[in-house]
Amino acid sequence: MTHTLSITKAREKLTSLVDNANKKLAEYIITVNGSPAAVLISAAEYESWKETNEILADPQLMKSIRAGEKEIKAGKGIPWEKVKKELNVD
């Protein structure tokens, strides 16, 4: 859930905001003079966003992903149950 608060309130509650972002994956939009100025999210969420953006920015990788999706839709993939059985994964 995303919460919006002023920079003054964020300053007062910074320790608990960081703790909530880290442990509860809470998200905070911090405003300055009523306008959004920054976002506080967990480091894990930030890293995930960065990784996603890197993937989306790589044309060759996106082309490969789209090709793989087409193959799956065409029934050319290997069923997950078969993969798990071959790898002895439960």
77 secondary structure, DSSP code: S
Could you tell me where in the chain the CATH 3.40.1620.10 domains are found?
2-42
Candidates 49, 23, 28, 31; CA nearest to 39 is: 28
Instruction: Write down the pLDDT at residue 79.
Output: 87
Using pLDDT thresholds of 50, 70 and 90, give the confidence band for residue 90: confident
CATH topology assigned to domain 2-42: YefM-like fold (3.40.1620)
Amino acid identity at 52: T
pLDDT tens per residue across span 9-28 = 999 999 999 999 999 999 99
Using pLDDT thresholds of 50, 70 and 90, give the confidence band for residue 1: confident
6: left (phi over 0), alpha (psi -120 to 50) or beta: beta
Q: Look over the chain and give the mean of its residue pLDDT values, rounded to a whole number.
A: 96
Summarize the confidence of residues 18-43 as an average pLDDT.
98
